């Protein structure tokens, strides 16, 4: 095939593939343009998850009518003049590809009017082709961009979009994050005729936190404000008592630009070193400001990643800023000598009784964290392929593990993981009938961010089948009227939040997979915890119930419920090989 120059239309659609991955990408580019135009009010309207309509209206500076055709051309920009300008970027948009790329895969129109002009101008482009010249129209001051029938001329691109609910959540998430970064801008997001987010533009960042996370979480967030030699780090982080099971609660901005930088979020998490349980992550909104020449934002088509001239300095600064804020708000515990020896780092010194989940969870540790570097852990024998044999209870150790004897050796059973498995199989079996539910004396309100609220709305019927009665109660707010009987004693708001955490990254799971994940989350919350002292009868009952499970060797999340120490292994450890 001979080498040839691609037609402009094809080249534009290829560029669009880099910049416009999904409807949220369009919203991002248009919102960033509005912010660069110094808008103080930005209104976003979305229909059919952005495939039918995305409209972004702002009161920022206008585009002169005679420049509209140039603004829609490829490689056009008002923000760069020379290549060296790429290393001093002070705006959000600069590549000169966004409007042309969006217009090449949609029916596009832009209407703009200067504040001191009587009429504005409207310019229409379809599939990258202008439809006439800009026309005079009556319009409010500012700019309105309408993107209709996104990907209408590249249907293959539509096939790769996720479900409408997922695409809406992506838009919710993006607008929420930018409203946090620009609290002085009044944002309004309307999806399918419903207001999903609205901020006042008062400039109070904590007020935006309330709009996103609800008053309860916003009230607990800790302020961060650190000034380094070449940078400043501000924002909010959660205390160690407010965590999630994933990194979705972490938002990072560099010079006002939202970035998805794994290394930066890792630095933030390292600031919590030794202060969080395994598998838990903080919530945070951090703003990193540094001279533009110290950061390269031109390393990713959508500018989602950045590169620093002094990477280590920035990462250390994030760690220190987070640690300083935590220590400033967290009392340092006093250390006193004790006559009785306690294992290091043990959270299990407070025994409790019964089956109520009153203490924090702790994942089991198969090997000591205190082992010397390079020291190999002792070999563990695999569990019998046949499953769990009949076990004879010996006792409980560390208020976390049951010790039992089987016909082929010793078994250490993680009481939390084992109880999770038992509850999971019981609740899954109850789905065909009515799951026992307990009505609350008073309904409990739960505030969620707009993305999580939309996700929960989609799962209300599923939640009801599992014993939850939850009703919408205003924007992004719900009332919990009843809980599954096995969750009695658990904070209803915490129960709702914990069962929706795992779904935030799911795109389009099957319904039975959704129910299984919800059940697994419920059981994790309800299961007996490490740190709870169990009576002998309760220990025996736990072992008998585990033996009756279909899949007794792992919890619903895949962690082992037990480890097996064979007689042969014990004899080798005691030097008794061949003694019998």
Q: What is the DSSP string of 13-27?
A: HHHHHHH-SSHHHHH
513-529 in b/e form (b: 16+ CB < 10 A) is: ebbbbbbbbbbbbbbbb
Helices (H) and strands (E) in the chain, counts: 17, 25
What is the pLDDT at residue 495? 79
Q: Quote the tokens at residue 1.
A: 């095939």
Q: What is the pLDDT of residue 157?
A: 86
pLDDT digit string (tens) for 147-187? 999 999 988 888 889 889 889 989 998 999 899 889 999 99
Kindly report the CATH class assigned to 221-329. alpha beta
Q: Does domain 8-199 have CATH number 3.40.640.10?
A: no
The crossing angle, in degrees rounded to 10, of helices 511-526 and 415-430 is 140
The mean per-residue pLDDT over the stretch 121-126 comes to: 95
At residue 216, the 3 state secondary structure works out as helix
What pLDDT, on the 0 to 100 scale, is given for residue 580? 54
- Pairwise pLDDT comparison (62 vs 2), residue with the higher score: 62
Averaged pLDDT for residues 402-426: 90
| Bridge partner list, 236 | 223, 285
pLDDT classification of 301: cutoffs 50, 70, 90: low
Q: Give the pLDDT of residue 509.
A: 44
The Cα 445–Cα 458 span in angstroms is: 18
Mean pLDDT of 353-370: 34
Percent of the chain with pLDDT over 90: 32
| CA 356/CA 354 separation, integer angstroms | 6
Does the structure show a pLDDT above 60 at 342? no
Residue 336 has pLDDT above 60, yes or no: no
Among 49-63, 368-382, 532-546, where is mean pLDDT lowest? 368-382
Residue 243 has pLDDT above 50, yes or no: yes
Q: What residue ranges in 87-213 does DSSP mark as E strands? A: 107-113, 120-126, 129-130, 135-137, 142-148, 186-191, 194-198
On average, the pLDDT of the chain sits at 79
Calculate the CA dihedral of residues 145, 103, 77, 58 and round it to 10 degrees. Answer: 10
Which pLDDT belongs to residue 222?
A: 93
**Local confidence band at 109 (pLDDT 50, 70, 90 cut-offs):** very high
Of 12-26, 178-192, 403-417, 562-576, where does mean pLDDT reach its minimum?
Answer: 12-26
What whole-number distance in Å separates Cα of residue 274 and Cα of residue 483?
33
Q: Any long-range contacts for 43-47 (C-beta under 8 Å, 24+ apart)?
A: 43/187, 43/188, 43/190, 44/171, 44/175, 44/187, 44/188, 44/189, 44/190, 45/190, 46/168, 46/171, 46/189, 46/190, 46/191, 46/192, 47/191, 47/192, 47/193
Which residues does residue 225 pair with via DSSP β-bridges, in sequence order?
A: 234
Q: What is the pLDDT of residue 7?
A: 62
pLDDT of residue 213: 78
Instruction: Give the pairing type, strands 437-447 and 477-484.
Output: antiparallel
Would you say residue 367 has pLDDT above 60? no
Residue 91's pLDDT band (cuts 50, 70, 90): low
pLDDT of residue 449: 80
Mean pLDDT of 287-312: 75
Structure tokens at 108: 């596009």
pLDDT tens, residue by residue, 416-438: 999 988 888 887 777 666 778 88
538 vs 75: CA distance, rounded Å: 71
Predicted pLDDT of residue 353? 33
Q: What is the mean pLDDT of residues 201-214?
A: 84
Q: Which of 451-465, 489-503, 558-572 has the lowest mean pLDDT?
A: 489-503
Cα separation values, 325 from 233, 279, 284, Å: 11, 22, 12
Q: Looking at residue 112, what is its pLDDT?
A: 93
Euclidean distance between CA atoms 148 and 55, whole angstroms: 8
Contact between 359 and 399 (Cβ < 8 Å): no
Q: What is the pLDDT confidence band of residue 134, given thresholds at 50, 70 and 90?
A: very high
Can you give the pLDDT at residue 513?
A: 56
Is pLDDT of 32 > 60? yes
CATH 3.30.565.10 residue ranges of the chain are: 8-199
DSSP-derived pairing of the beta strands 41-47 and 186-191: parallel
Contact 425, 412 (CB under 8 A): no
Q: What class is the 352-357+379-504+511-580 domain?
A: alpha beta
Rounded to an integer, what distance in angstroms lies between the CA atom of residue 470 and that of residue 484?
Answer: 12
Minimal CA–CA distance to 204: which of 190, 221, 189, 227? 221
Q: Which residues pair with 111 in a beta bridge?
A: 122, 144
Averaged pLDDT for residues 267-281? 83
Q: What is the pLDDT of residue 423?
A: 85
| Token duo for residue 261 | 């930088």
Distance of CA 323 to the CA centre of its chain: 22
Average pLDDT over residues 549-553: 85
Q: What is the pLDDT of residue 337?
A: 35
């Amino acid at each position: 095939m001979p080498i040839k120059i691609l037609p402009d239309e094809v080249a534009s659609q290829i560029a669009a593939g880099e910049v416009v991955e999904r409807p949220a990408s369009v919203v991002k580019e248009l919102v960033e343009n509005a912010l660069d135009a110094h808008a103080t009010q930005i209104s976003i309207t979305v229909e059919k998850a952005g495939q039918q309509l995305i409209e972004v209206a702002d009161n920022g500076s206008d585009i002169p009518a005679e420049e509209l055709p140039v603004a829609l051309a490829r490689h056009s920009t008002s923000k760069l003049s020379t290549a060296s300008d790429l290393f001093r970027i002070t705006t959000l948009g600069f590549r000169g590809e966004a409007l042309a790329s969006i217009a090449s895969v949609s029916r596009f129109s832009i209407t703009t009017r200067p504040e001191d002009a009587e009429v504005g101008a409207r310019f229409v482009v379809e599939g990258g082709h202008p439809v006439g010249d800009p026309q005079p129209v009556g319009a409010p001051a500012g700019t309105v961009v309408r993107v209709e029938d996104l990907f209408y001329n590249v249907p293959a691109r539509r096939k790769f979009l996720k479900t409408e609910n997922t695409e809406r959540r992506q838009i919710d998430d993006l607008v929420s994050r930018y409203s946090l970064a620009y609290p002085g801008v009044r944002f309004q997001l309307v999806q399918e005729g419903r207001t999903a987010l609205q901020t006042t533009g008062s400039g109070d960042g904590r007020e935006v936190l309330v709009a996103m996370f609800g008053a309860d979480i916003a009230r607990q967030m800790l302020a961060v404000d650190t000034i380094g030699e070449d940078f400043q780090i501000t924002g909010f982080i959660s205390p160690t008592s407010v965590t999630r099971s994933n990194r979705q609660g972490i938002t990072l901005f560099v010079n006002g630009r939202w970035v998805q930088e794994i290394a930066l979020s890792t630095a933030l998490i390292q600031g919590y070193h030794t202060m969080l349980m395994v598998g838990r992550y903080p919530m945070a909104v951090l703003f990193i400001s540094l001279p533009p020449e110290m950061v390269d934002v031109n390393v990713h088509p959508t500018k989602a990643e950045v590169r620093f001239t002094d990477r280590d300095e920035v990462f250390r600064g994030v760690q220190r800023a987070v640690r300083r804020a935590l220590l400033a708000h967290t009392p340092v515990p006093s250390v006193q000598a004790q006559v009785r020896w306690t294992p290091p780092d043990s959270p299990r010194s407070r025994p409790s009784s019964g089956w109520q989940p009153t203490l924090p969870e702790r994942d089991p540790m198969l090997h000591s964290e205190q082992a010397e570097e390079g020291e190999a852990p002792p070999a563990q024998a695999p569990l019998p392929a046949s499953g769990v044999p009949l076990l004879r209870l010996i006792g409980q150790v560390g208020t976390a593990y049951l010790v039992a004897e089987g016909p082929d050796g010793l078994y250490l059973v993680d009481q939390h993981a084992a109880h999770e498995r038992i509850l999971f199989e019981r609740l899954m079996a109850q789905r065909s009938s009515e799951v026992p539910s307990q009505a609350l004396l008073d309904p409990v309100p739960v505030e969620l961010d707009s993305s999580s609220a939309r996700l929960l709305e989609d799962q209300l019927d599923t939640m009801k089948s599992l014993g939850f009665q939850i009703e919408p109660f205003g924007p992004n707010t719900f009332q919990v009227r009843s809980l599954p009987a096995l969750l009695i004693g658990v904070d209803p708001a915490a129960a709702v939040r914990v069962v929706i955490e795992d779904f935030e990254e799911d795109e389009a799971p099957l319904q039975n997979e959704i129910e299984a994940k919800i059940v697994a989350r419920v059981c994790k919350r309800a299961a007996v915890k490490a740190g709870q002292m169990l009576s002998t009868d309760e220990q025996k009952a736990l072992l008998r119930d585990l033996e009756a499970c279909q899949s007794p060797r792992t919890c619903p999340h895949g962690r082992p419920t037990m480890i097996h120490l064979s007689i042969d292994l014990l004899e080798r450890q005691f030097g008794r090989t061949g003694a019998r």
